[in-house]
């Protein structure tokens, strides 16, 4: 949650543009919104917390990104991968987990 809050605070305009693109391109967002996703990543990557999450959770983040690429029109398939990444990120930030293993959070 803290990492998302940091990203939203520091990179709000980039995040908003990316979100609008994803919402308007449900079947092709992974192709159509690639540059916008990169702009959010570039913006957020300067924050120490985000860098630590990317470093410490690289395995689960990679698995989530692969899943999203493999299931571009059905992100619900990636619920388990998203849950693992969220658990890892929460352990890095010290947030108490709001997702338990086996849950399928919305992506």
Digit-coded pLDDT (tens) for 64-74: 888 888 887 77
Q: 4 with 95: CB under 8 angstroms? A: no
Kindly tell me if the per-residue pLDDT of 92 is higher than 50.
Answer: yes
Least confident of 11-15, 63-67, 98-102: 98-102
Domain span holding position 60: 3-93
Higher pLDDT, 5 or 34: 34
Q: 43 with 35: CB under 8 angstroms? A: no
Residue 24 is assigned to a structural domain of this protein: yes
Confidence at 63, pLDDT banded by 50, 70, 90: very high
Domains held by the chain: number:
1
Residue 36 is assigned to a structural domain of this protein: yes
Residue 68 is assigned to a structural domain of this protein: yes
Residue 103 is assigned to a structural domain of this protein: no
Spatial CB neighbours of 45, under 8 Å, sequence gap ≥ 6: 51, 54
Residue 98 is assigned to a structural domain of this protein: no
Closest to 37 measured CA to CA, from 47, 45, 49:
45
- What is the C-alpha to C-alpha distance for residues 8 and 26, in angstroms, rounded to an integer? 22
Q: What is the mean pLDDT of the chain?
A: 79
Residue 107 is assigned to a structural domain of this protein: no
């Amino acid at each position: 949650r803290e990492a998302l809050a940091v990203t939203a605070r520091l990179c709000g305009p980039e995040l908003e543009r990316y979100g609008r693109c994803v919402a308007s391109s449900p079947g092709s967002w992974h192709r159509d919104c690639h540059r916008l996703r990169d702009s959010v990543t570039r913006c957020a990557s300067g924050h120490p917390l985000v860098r630590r999450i990317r470093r410490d959770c690289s395995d689960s983040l990679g698995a989530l990104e692969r899943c999203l690429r493999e299931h571009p029109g059905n992100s619900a398939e990636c619920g388990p991968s998203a849950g693992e990444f969220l658990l890892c990120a929460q352990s890095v930030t010290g947030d108490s987990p709001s997702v338990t293993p086996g849950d399928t959070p919305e992506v």
